[in-house]
Structure 1
């Protein structure tokens, strides 16, 4: 593995490149760009689990940290701007095509959770991606617009963002929000337990315990930066622009983040002629992050998919 940076405008984006066994720099390899979940980092599931496994299967894999987050540069920190997030993918390809070991005609893309939603959007306008796959992908814009499930949830969120921007423009401290409680104990105290709150409960158990915790995986975002993402739709124009081979892997335990629903929505919409939803039984959203009994069936679908299409 090698740690590098590439540029997205003025921001240095941090990435790990995972190489196949017996890597030969004189050869050209099929290559995959791997995107982490919102609030996560390349050292967690997108890199250390899926990136590593896909490299062991023969691919060069570039797992990157979103601009303004984790090991990447950029101010303000924890910016969650959907447009910038999508541009990270295009800049990753710009970097990869400068490497002699990368076959520019065999580049695919992979994403987890909200990183999966950004993956769908990026693939629609980045034709250098020849195959698209996600595991438990989520349309973050849809999730933010739903908010507290009230009819005017999106408007209330946008008004609150506007108020926070005004406050910060006048000197207030940056507001950082999280999608999960600070500890497993606090989640239980708040009643955020399965089955109704399976995603929040299991996210807390992943990010806030030694199981998945990493200093860069803060699970925080700048609230004042969220307006573009509230207006973002990861499936918009999929019926016209998402034509590449498409694989969507989800568990059969639907959670409140909506990955199961989003996979089927995208499958129905996508213009791809070669597309499939793989549903793994007895598996939840966060099981797919690192639990072998969930990850292995996902890889059993992903590796043949990329091997055939790249």
Structure 2
């Protein structure tokens, strides 16, 4: 079984915390293909990006780095709970910087995988960081599109005005307004009239023993969310995203929009080698951790990375 080494490395002006997953037969005298694994919005490295996909990729022979986003989890940065897409993409670049500094990582065989918002951040990173040689988006969500639509109740200008007012108040000393993206429980959500499959299943994952972790806060700093409003995870993909791409989605659409975003990036990407896999009968959050849909996803992920990263080890 793979093992975990807790590591940290310098980011812009703070340290990033990460788990480095090592294959069971890890040998420092060999070089390995490596994969950066990026967690969802409001998540942390101990949840699906690390414990599920990171673990299984390491079991298959890869070095995997699952990190906490800046301002979140065990990583540094202030103020806390910022979800700034530009910095989230920059986090992936710094994760690659760390990997290529390791003598047992082959810098020419770097892959990337991300879940939910992390999937779309991975796409964005790959458009401008071609050290990423192949990438996989697991039920990826374009956070910019989600902010302009569902998270602003389809009133992005009204939301921007509210964010501006709140940020001005905070600059003058008011308490930071940290919002929780989810209800306190599934039952509380239903009582409040929530019926969307994504919101209810997210709550079940993040706020029960199924996936709950101390650093998986599902929280966001409201006044700083304006940074996402004009952001598009898929910008310039028609020109710049040329690496092999695998998109995995479930066929039960929900309010967070992974199904439509997956179809969109598959169509827009310039990648000559690209494929999309639809897990029939499964939802967005099923693909986080449930054994059967994750197995369906990994049945696509492992041969994809094997083909494009050439996962076999070699002596240095």
> Is the 1:147–1:157 contact (alpha carbons within 8 Å) kept by the matching residues of 2?
no
Structure-2 separation of matches of 1:11 and 1:298: 34
> Is the 1:147–1:154 contact (alpha carbons within 8 Å) kept by the matching residues of 2?
no
Structure-1 separation of matches of 2:130 and 2:152: 36
- TM-score when scaled to structure 1? 0.97
Q: Output aligned runs, 1:128-207, within 5 Å.
A: 128-147=131-150, 153-193=155-195, 197-207=196-206
Partner residue, 2:245: 246
SS class of match (1:240): helix
C-alpha deviations, 1:1-48, integer Å up to 9, x for none? 101111211110100000111100110001000000000000000000
Return closer, same or farther for 1:148/1:305 CA change in 2, 3 Å cut-off.
Answer: closer
Partner residue, 1:62: 65
Structure-2 separation of matches of 1:247 and 1:220: 29
C-alpha deviations, 1:54-76, integer Å up to 9, x for none? 00011000000000100101110
Shift of residue 190, structure 1, vs aligned partner = 1.2
Partner residue, 1:45: 48
Q: Output aligned runs, 1:1-310, within 5 Å.
A: 1-147=4-150, 153-193=155-195, 197-310=196-309
Structure-2 separation of matches of 1:126 and 1:149: 30
> Is the 2:150–2:256 contact (alpha carbons within 8 Å) kept by the matching residues of 1?
no
Structure-2 separation of matches of 1:150 and 1:35: 27
RMSD: 1.0
Shift of residue 178, structure 1, vs aligned partner = 2.0
SS class of match (2:276): strand
Structure-2 separation of matches of 1:34 and 1:271: 22
C-alpha deviations, 1:60-101, integer Å up to 9, x for none? 000000001001011100011111111001111111111011
SS class of match (2:252): coil
Shift of residue 199, structure 1, vs aligned partner = 0.1
C-alpha deviations, 1:225-282, integer Å up to 9, x for none? 1111111100110001100000000011111100000011111110000001100111
Q: Any stretches of 5+ residues in structure 2 without a counterpart?
A: 310-316
Shift of residue 148, structure 1, vs aligned partner = 6.4
SS class of match (1:118): helix
- TM-score when scaled to structure 2? 0.95
Structure-1 separation of matches of 2:153 and 2:27: 56
Shift of residue 115, structure 1, vs aligned partner = 0.8
Structure-2 separation of matches of 1:178 and 1:188: 16
Aligned residues, how many?
Answer: 306
Q: Any stretches of 5+ residues in structure 1 without a counterpart?
A: none
Return closer, same or farther for 1:148/1:17 CA change in 2, 3 Å cut-off.
Answer: closer
Structure-1 separation of matches of 2:266 and 2:242: 11
